[in-house]
Structure 1
């Protein structure tokens, strides 16, 4: 199909979905803990209705119930957890700052040796204290790690919205709101500190979540957006007028990668901005081919962890491996409580992705999620259950992007190239 035909076909999909589901662009009055909404498939993007951005109720999570309609036992192709082995969390060392050291064995592979199986959990937005607690608790038993892509506006309280002006937008405007009141901002900082000290990674989800505008931002505009993100991260207490609160325990220089809003942006405009801000990786770009495969380094030196297109038996075909895209694939992102039907389909898709990679090319499996209650909280239980059942398996490390990069860069170039030269997995039954 010619590129022009693809463009019009994609446009037609967006129009049909918008008409069917009634999706409209979110407004600045809605605060989002769930953040970026990616494309349905390939580069098709559907904007959410306003109340999809509603914040989850800030209550302590209850005991996690079993995922409906699915077994928690590993599949016949998956490795079982080692019986009687010491819990990784019990012996994890800490560095001089008090932060847990990496959970990835930094060893070189011999030629032809199987790579470890990495699983990278990431969450866009990371604004909900309750959801942060839920995943810190799910990660703890197996010393699993995750990456939180922080929306910069979530450390700016609502009364100081005019501190932000998104490129091409009005001052004080945001499609995902701001950080709430000052008490909520301070609690969020405490959550981020706890997550970081537990060995997790904080990346950027940029600021205002402008999907339509951001799609065509220039390098200068991406630089502006990132300049503001790092300013907020460094000077949030001054901007908010807060004096009695802890500092962030990690410097802004620790932010080494991120995910753009709605997976938008042109590489030739983004790469110079990433270089200017000392970034090492990105996890935004739609994959150039189907399936799960090893990350590759762009000409700019940035590692690109492409958002994969995977097969899902429960969802009836290929889909971008992100919770919002699963929802769109399931029913066009219709509102309602669909957890009983949808949650097992998502969990089984994650299991399929892992099985295919573990028994195939051992490429990192990306679990891209949000702190959300979409579709009756259909996604978080699947993600938490997958984290609990998978991260303790042999030869499996639930790690951060930066730690996986450190492992890859430790390898002999020829060995790493052999990994990257393998074919894709998980794109067909």
Structure 2
């Protein structure tokens, strides 16, 4: 589970989902927008690629918002969650959007995102406030790009800067591999109840296919739409659980679209899956660590399993690399000791 933008505002969703994670033995990844730690009156410190200084399509923050966000980041990290980046100004589409940025421009953007996180006390004048408990240069190993654009040049820049994963793409529910040296932890397509096509594991995409670009559509449909997202994610989970056991990658925003129905959906999914045996709800950093620790040949075999495909001879045989033992009592089986 991951969150784009990850700031604490009057909705108090950051603090709410920290509690949901703790209550269900889960850790999550919070993709922080650097400008959420930059006060409005210091906006000119941000020099976005291909835009004039002080421009941002998601605005900046006030000091109360920064103090609240820092408090949540501090506690989230101490609880074992990860702080990634959603970069800064969230520029999409034509005319200077992130999809048009060069590798060097991505490096500039990343450097500024780190800088705003490291200098929030100076920029707000909160000199006596407790610092963040992590070194962002070491903590920051992965990202999701705005509007899932500009992946290729971001990956090149990220790899040179020591990033270890990217989660900006769209994939099927199969085991992750690497792209240009980074783990490709793309979000995935899962069943979309009531439709013949599959849906990306993100609140925004469910919303667009339900109420279009209207963030507050027909109130009579809010509950149904939330149930659709919840049930689609649960079907995707069950397909992997019974099948190839591939990690399920989910992305969201702290939002109140369609009456907050997607927030309810995510909470119900967390409560349903994170408490199951043989399931671990982890941050992307933890997943990357785990993938790095595996035998590459084993991961290559796992990547050979299709969506929902379990090994035909069972997991013990598939992972051991040797034939499964013959069932007891069949011709050629070892004699049973009495």
TM-score class, shorter: 0.7 to 0.9
The answer to whether 1:414 aligns with 2:263 is no
- Any gaps of 5 or more consecutive residues in structure 2? 310-338
Alignment of 1:164-183 (within 5 A): 164-179=46-61, 181-183=62-64
TM-score with structure 1 length normalisation?
Answer: 0.68
The answer to whether 1:328 aligns with 2:208 is yes
The aligned residue for residue 149 of structure 2 is: 264
Mean Cα displacement is larger for which, 382-391 or 270-279?
A: 270-279
The answer to whether 1:254 aligns with 2:135 is no
Provide the C-alpha distance between the structure 1 equivalents of 2:233 and 2:188, rounded to a whole number of angstroms: 12
Equivalenced residue count is 300
The aligned residue for residue 251 of structure 2 is: 368
The answer to whether 1:307 aligns with 2:187 is yes
How far apart are residue 325 of structure 1 and its match?
0.5
The answer to whether 1:147 aligns with 2:34 is no
**Secondary structure of residue in 2 paired with 1:174:** coil
How far apart are residue 363 of structure 1 and its match?
0.5
TM-score with structure 2 length normalisation?
Answer: 0.85
Cα RMSD (Å): 1.5
Provide the C-alpha distance between the structure 2 equivalents of 1:222 and 1:395, rounded to a whole number of angstroms: 39
How far apart are residue 183 of structure 1 and its match?
2.2
2:157 to 249, 273, 278: 273
**Secondary structure of residue in 1 paired with 2:84:** strand
Structure ranking higher on relative contact order (CA contacts 8 Å, 6+ apart): 1
Provide the C-alpha distance between the structure 2 equivalents of 1:304 and 1:413, rounded to a whole number of angstroms: 15
2:268 to 385, 391, 394: 385
The aligned residue for residue 186 of structure 1 is: 67
Provide the C-alpha distance between the structure 2 equivalents of 1:308 and 1:386, rounded to a whole number of angstroms: 16
How far apart are residue 361 of structure 1 and its match?
0.6
- The one-character-per-residue Cα deviations of 1:138-170 (angstroms, maximum 9, x if unpaired) are 111232111000001001111111110211112
Provide the C-alpha distance between the structure 2 equivalents of 1:279 and 1:329, rounded to a whole number of angstroms: 33
Given that 2:7 and 2:32 are in contact with CA atoms closer than 8 Å, whether structure 1 keeps it comes out as yes
Which structure has the larger Rg?
2
Provide the C-alpha distance between the structure 1 equivalents of 2:288 and 2:109, rounded to a whole number of angstroms: 25
The aligned residue for residue 285 of structure 1 is: 169
1:229 to 90, 100, 113: 113
2:76 to 182, 195, 199: 195
- The one-character-per-residue Cα deviations of 1:348-378 (angstroms, maximum 9, x if unpaired) are 0111011000000111111211100011111
The aligned residue for residue 3 of structure 2 is: 123
Provide the C-alpha distance between the structure 2 equivalents of 1:385 and 1:234, rounded to a whole number of angstroms: 35
Q: Which has the higher helix share?
A: 2
Provide the C-alpha distance between the structure 2 equivalents of 1:342 and 1:297, rounded to a whole number of angstroms: 34
How far apart are residue 296 of structure 1 and its match?
0.7
The aligned residue for residue 395 of structure 1 is: 278
- The one-character-per-residue Cα deviations of 1:280-318 (angstroms, maximum 9, x if unpaired) are 00000233xxx31111112x3211112222221245522
Q: Are the structure 2 counterparts of residues 242 and 160 from structure 1 closer, same or farther at C-alpha, using a change threshold of 3 Å?
A: same
How far apart are residue 424 of structure 1 and its match?
2.1
**Secondary structure of residue in 2 paired with 1:378:** helix
